[in-house]
Every structure is written in C-alpha cells, then in structure tokens.
C-alpha cells in the first residue's frame, strides 16, 4: 500500500480538541493495517497569527499543496477580533480554498436514525435522509466584480454585487455532481433562477448540454432555487444530489443541514480540479461548525462532524469506500447506543466527553 500524506490543521478553539480524535482514529487504522497514513500538522487561524503574524504561513501553505488531503478543524475566536483584516483567522481558510483551487463544496445531510427525533421537522419526513449538496465555491456573486458601494452624492449610496459565471465554471461543478451521483442514487437536481437571472439561463444550458453529452445515464431535474428551498423542508427525501451556485448553495446547504439536528454532526469536503497526470484532486475536509469558543477547552465538543469529515476524505480522496462506510456505521452505532455529547443530548442519553465519543467510535470499528 502506498503511503498517503495528510496535513492536519486543527486551528483554534475546539478545532484542537476534535482533531485529537482524528489522530487517534488514524493511529488505530494504521496500527491495524487498514491504512498507511503519514501525517504532518500545521497552524491555521488565530494560532498561526500568534506564531507568524499571518492566518497561515507560506511554509504551511506549501505543506497543504503537497498533501494528498488537508484535514481542517476550525478557526477563530474573540481573542483575534481586532487583528488586521487580512490576517483575521478566516483569511487562512480562504487562502487554502483559493490556493488549492477548491471549487466544489460537498455538504452531505444525513439523518442518523437515532437522531431523527432531534430534527426540527417531523421524524417521518427526515427519517432515512441522505442528500448531498454540491455547491460551486469559487465563483458567483461573492467574487464577481464590480463589487462596491458608490456614493451617489445626493445622500444616497448604491451597493453593487456582480453575479458572474463562465461556462467552464458551470461545466466543472456539474461534472463533479454527475460523477458523485453515479456513486449514489444516480439523480441530480440542478438549482438556479433562470426565470429572473441570466446566470441561471447559462447554468441551465450548460448543465443540460453536459448531461446529454456525457451523463445521460444520470437522472437530471432542473429546479428553481426558491422552490428547492421549499421542497427541502417539505419532502427532503425526494433529492439525491443537488448542484447549485455559490450563493444558493450557501443558503440551501445550511437549510438542509438543520434537517439533521446539531451543527456538531455536519461534515464537508471541498475538492479542486483533477490533476491531468495523477487523476487526483486537491482536497480539504472540515466540519461545518466553527471554533465554538463558548465550550472550548472543556471536553464538551462533539467530534462527530470532524470524524465524519475524515470519513469523507477516505471516500473521496483515497477511494477507501468500505472503510468510509465502516466509520460512518460506527458513528451511527454509538448514537444507537445512546452516547451523546451535550449538543445532541436527549432524555435517556448517556452524556460523554469529546474523548469518550472518539474512543467509542474507534471501539465500534
């Protein structure tokens, strides 16, 4: 088995606590011969600012570029509220996304049976939920120019954001969605607003063309993004893979996330373009939540989002599908046993610490 290189970037706050559980998991998998991971660590966020005066150093950025996958914890906290804007903790995350060219953000929303009662929706609506939102991450209205506030001189100002998409940006994210659908239930819903936005017209056109040319075996639906939001809370189980732009993806993935309960349960992956020679993609895996300063350092953080993010790395960067399934099954099993960190605590649950939850998942493996 060839060595696989990981870079672990725990970051700040609970990031460091939940990353310990991933290190324990890697040690277990390596020692039982299931993997042969080599890993290095680096600093990102506030801790990197304290050490280097930047949210990520060039040396750690080099390590990230060389790694087969980056495993990221969380950054930020009140300690760094007043650092210069370009050195704020989130700048480390944004630089990683930019320099690694991570244009595809994958956010699964899976409802673990033991947590179906914790959803804000009725149990029968979320039970068995397993959807994947594929969000375009590097284009659209968050990056389009012009982006400015102009003083109109008559006591009025004008704010401008520009929604812009080129064919190649839609093409590559659509391909990621179709490829992923083939590994799941083989269905893609493409969400845009072609009724009122030119970018939606082009999005619809490009997705339709790529589907016809290369992915006709995948079932494709087009859905207006506002209807998609409604359908997500009405009948989320109708979806398999949803592909959408940066803005709609931001909103739809947060809505889908809450169907499943706590922030502490939600993993994500961000993928870049396929290398022409190796076929590998640059990739970063991270929980959706932040550094949770309110509970940091107390052993209260739920490590499941972090461990499930690592499972996504096994699945998407290393094609260790069976092992990823096993880790996800181990998470489901500890939840079935009633083990709960504070954020997902329910009547009758057994309250555990971050380390106890991590140990229990490894024991199930």
48 lies in the site for ligand NAD, by CB under 6 A: no
Query: Which residue among 42, 200, 261, 264 contacts ligand NAD (CB under 6 A)?
Result: 264
Sole window of 136-144, 207-215, 216-224, 290-298 interacting with ligand NAD (rule: CB under 6 A): 290-298
**From 40, 185, 226, 359, active-site residue:** 226
User: Is 254 a known active-site residue?
Assistant: yes
CB atoms within 10 A of CB 230: 12
Cβ proximity to ligand NAD, 26 vs 352, nearer residue: 352
H/E element, 248? helix 246-258
Cβ proximity to ligand NAD, 199 vs 262, nearer residue: 262
Contact pattern for ligand NAD over residues 297 through 336, marking x by CB under 6 A: ----xx--x-------------------------------
Give CA separation, 106 vs 1, 15, 78, 85, in Å. 27, 20, 28, 28
Residue carrying structure tokens 């994958």? 106
Q: Least distance from C-beta 354 to ligand NAD, angstroms?
A: 8
Contact 17, 354 (CB under 8 A): yes
Cβ proximity to ligand NAD, 174 vs 284, nearer residue: 284
Of 20, 98, 89, 93, the C-alpha closest to 52 is 89
Contact 302, 262 (CB under 8 A): yes
User: Is 142 a known active-site residue?
Assistant: yes
User: Is 193 a known active-site residue?
Assistant: yes
74 lies in the site for ligand NAD, by CB under 6 A: yes
236 lies in the site for ligand NAD, by CB under 6 A: no
289 lies in the site for ligand NAD, by CB under 6 A: yes
DSSP 318: S
261 lies in the site for ligand NAD, by CB under 6 A: no
**Cα distance between residue 71 and residue 39, in whole Å:** 10
**From 193, 215, 282, 316, active-site residue:** 193
Query: Which residue among 263, 311, 334, 339 contacts ligand NAD (CB under 6 A)?
Result: 263
Sole window of 22-30, 73-81, 109-117, 218-226 interacting with ligand NAD (rule: CB under 6 A): 73-81
Instruction: Kindly tell me the burial class for residue 277, based on how many C-beta atoms sit within 10 Å of its own C-beta (0-12, 13-18, 19 or more).
Output: exposed
**Cα distance between residue 301 and residue 297, in whole Å:** 9
**Cα distance between residue 218 and residue 212, in whole Å:** 10
**Cα distance between residue 247 and residue 93, in whole Å:** 18
Contact 266, 305 (CB under 8 A): yes
Active site (catalytic) residues: 142, 193, 226, 250, 254
Residues within the interface to ligand NAD (CB under 6 A): 14, 74-77, 93, 263-264, 289-295, 301-302, 305, 341, 343
């Amino acid at each position: 088995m060839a060595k696989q290189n990981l870079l672990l970037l725990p970051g700040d706050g609970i990031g460091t606590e939940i990353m310990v559980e991933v290190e324990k998991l890697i040690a277990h998998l390596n020692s039982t011969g299931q993997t042969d991971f080599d890993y290095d660590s680096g600093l990102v966020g506030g801790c990197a600012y304290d050490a280097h005066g930047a949210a990520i150093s060039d040396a750690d950025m080099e390590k990230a570029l060389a790694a087969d996958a980056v495993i990221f914890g969380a950054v930020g906290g009140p300690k760094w509220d007043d650092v210069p804007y370009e050195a704020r903790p989130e700048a480390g995350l944004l630089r990683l996304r930019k320099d690694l060219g991570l244009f595809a953000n994958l956010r699964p929303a899976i409802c673990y049976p033991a947590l179906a009662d914790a959803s804000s929706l009725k149990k029968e609506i979320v039970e068995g939920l397993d959807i994947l939102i594929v969000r375009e991450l590097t284009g659209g209205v968050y990056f389009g120019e012009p982006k400015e506030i102009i003083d109109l001189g008559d006591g009025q100002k004008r704010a401008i954001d520009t929604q812009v998409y080129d064919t190649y940006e839609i093409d590559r994210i659509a391909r990621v969605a179709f490829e992923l659908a083939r590994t799941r239930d083989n269905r893609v819903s493409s969400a845009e607003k072609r009724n009122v936005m030119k970018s939606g017209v082009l999005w619809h056109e490009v997705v339709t063309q790529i589907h016809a040319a290369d992915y006709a075996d995948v079932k494709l639906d087009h859905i207006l993004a506002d209807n998609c939001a409604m359908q997500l809370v009405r009948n989320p189980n109708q979806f398999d893979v949803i592909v959408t732009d940066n803005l709609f993806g931001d909103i739809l993935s947060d809505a889908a996330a809450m169907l499943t309960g706590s922030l502490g349960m939600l993993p994500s992956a961000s993928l870049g373009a396929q290398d022409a020679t190796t076929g590998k993609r640059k990739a970063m895996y991270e929980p959706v939540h932040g550094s949770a300063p309110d509970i940091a350092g107390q052993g209260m953080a739920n490590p499941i989002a972090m461990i499930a993010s690592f499972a996504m790395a096994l699945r998407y960067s290393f094609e260790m599908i069976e092992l990823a399934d096993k880790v996800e099954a181990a998470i489901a099993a500890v939840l079935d046993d009633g083990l709960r960190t504070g954020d997902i605590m329910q009547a009758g649950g057994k309250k555990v610490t971050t380390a106890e939850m991590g140990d229990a998942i490894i024991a199930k493996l």
